Amino acid sequence: MEAAAPKSIPKSVRVRFAPSPTGPLHVGSVRTALFNWLFARKYGGTFVLRIEDTDKERSKKEFEKGILEGLAWMGIDWDEGPEPLGTHGELPLDGGVGAFGPYRQSERTALYKNYLTRLLEEGHAYYCYCTKEDIEAQRQAMLAAGLPPKYSGHCRTLTAPPPGKDPQTIRFKVPETKVEFNDLVRGKVSFDAALFGDIIIAKDLDNPLYNFAVVVDDALMKITHVIRAEDHLSNTPKQILMGRALGFPEPAYAHIPLILNPDRSKMSKRFSDTALLNYRERGYVPEAMMNFLALLGWHPKGDREMLSKDELIAEFDIGRVQQSGAVFNEEKLDWLNREHLKTMPLDEVARGTAAFLAQRNIVAANEHLLERAVAVQRSRAKTERDLADAVAFFFALPEYGAELLVWKDRSTLNEVAEVLGRAARALEKIPAERFDLEALAAILPEIVGEHERGIVLWPLRVALSGLAASPDPVEIMSVLGRDESLRRIAGAIRKASAGK
């Protein structure tokens, strides 16, 4: 049964994720998208994707593609857009994730121009003729007077352009008032707008800036809740004032805590390990990444930490978001990823592992063999990349030296060849169709014979895997099957006999 929304949350919830395509998709941005998505799905609302690309110099199509690809990998789908995805060559997404392309601010400049013109005509905004040098001189004068620096308002009351000067920007007339709002995370928040000065909202009518465009977009897209990181908190009173000047309804705001490095410094795009898709390349699975990011700054009722997507939706409560920063603990991510790998459908883990095997030029064409290998190894693996490393020997026996077959210098290569020969003769008695864990365990005493177990099982394991560290030889043989196991043992016997 769908959870009933609290009285303070309307049934027609509309939220948005509005990233800037100026760099790789940051895990902090994905956490913001996730909180919005969970909130919308919790209450049967709408999740809107909007690309905020008003920064023409820094916005790049490859970064937008990375945003779409990252959200698709995470399974975060959006509900509407200006046209079906692919019309303008956007990234095609499988499984219906993001059926529509995102809104882009660069395609909405005519809308912003209309509202900029309206603010100018109604006296809420004005052209500013102050150059960068003028602004810096005003700033220095205020600092020298012991005042907090802000725009002096030099052009606010001009009735005509100064002779020989061209407009440099468009500024919003910030009223000297207190702005208060109830933040869904922080409670009552108050700002003194008299400290802001008149803010720049556009370079000109055709080039709006973020703080203005976002106000227009949120209003026209009927956004009911703005859920974003706390570093946007200082923008909120300015956006509220612009919205009031335009007569827009005011959305509810929730400012979620920043994600911090282990030393409690702010995570930055400058560090590559904050890029979401880097974690995909390292072999983390989206189920674990979603689980992990949801727990950064939020926690469900009780002590549960491992939650599925459906459980996160059912449990999500914006009121349980904390105010303090959330530390990105990669050890916890590793643990969650390991646990999700254990519980995910075997065929799904096998497909992911096959992709990493392909990067090593290993083609896992035998799906049955791959799934059996993954079943043996996945409890030992931290990521799918680790899992690919762990199962690679099932498909391609690594090169190894004969000396690796000797256990702790307790035997000679001649003895290794002898015990492996006896093991092969015992194994040949098992029919191929019964070459399983039960039959192999039953014949193990005959394989070991009178020897110390390590003297037999060590070279047998090396013969089967080519590695110093690998699973139990019985497990390996149950996966490889009779013919391949005997083939590998025969190769090890030749290697031991040749002494190399």
- DSSP-assigned states of every residue in 330-350: HHHHHHHHHHHHHHS-HHHHH
What 3-state DSSP class applies to 10?
coil
Residue 228 parent element (H or E):
strand 225-229
CA–CA dist 456, 423 (Å, integer): 8
Contact present, 355 and 348 (Cβ < 8 Å)? no
Closest CA to 97 of 42, 43, 47, 22: 47
Chain mean position to CA 16:
17
Specify whether 269 is catalytic: yes
Contact present, 459 and 422 (Cβ < 8 Å)? no
Contact present, 105 and 80 (Cβ < 8 Å)? no
Residues 299, 380, 370, 474: is their CA dihedral positive or negative? negative
Active-site residue, selected from the candidate residues 113, 165, 269, 332: 269
CA–CA dist 69, 368 (Å, integer): 30
Residue 426 parent element (H or E):
helix 413-427
Strands 225-229 and 252-256: what pairing? parallel
CA distances from 368 to 150, 349, 408 (A): 68, 13, 35
- Residue numbers annotated as active site: 269
